[in-house]
Amino acid sequence: MEGWGKVKQAAKYANTTPKTFRTWFKKGLKFSRPNSRVTLVKYSDIDEFLQSHSIDEDEAKMIDQMADSIIREFRNKN
């Protein structure tokens, strides 16, 4: 998709919520604010942002294993 979208449209494009989308702004997603009532995001910038935060399958498995280990440790303490 090309062009620009408002936050609600852009969030739908990325299959997330506007609230999550605004969090992404704080994490570096580029946006334009032509006036105080409108925030626009370029669809190609969404793609670039998501690509820069993507992980491969091995990394995902490692993160899952770390999370499982932390949860087990927490449960064992309680």
pLDDT 10s digits, 51-72? 998 888 888 888 889 999 999 9
Q: What is the pLDDT of residue 54?
A: 85
User: What would the two tokens of residue 57 be?
Assistant: 């399958």
Task: Give the count of domains, the chain.
Answer: 1
> What DSSP character marks residue 38?
E
Residue 71 structural domain? 4-77
pLDDT 10s digits, 2-39? 899 999 999 999 999 999 999 999 999 999 999 999 99
Cα gap 3→40, rounded to integer Å: 10
Residue with tokens 């992980």: 55
Cα gap 11→15, rounded to integer Å: 6
- For residue 47, give the CATH number of its domain: 1.10.10
Q: What is the pLDDT of residue 57?
A: 83
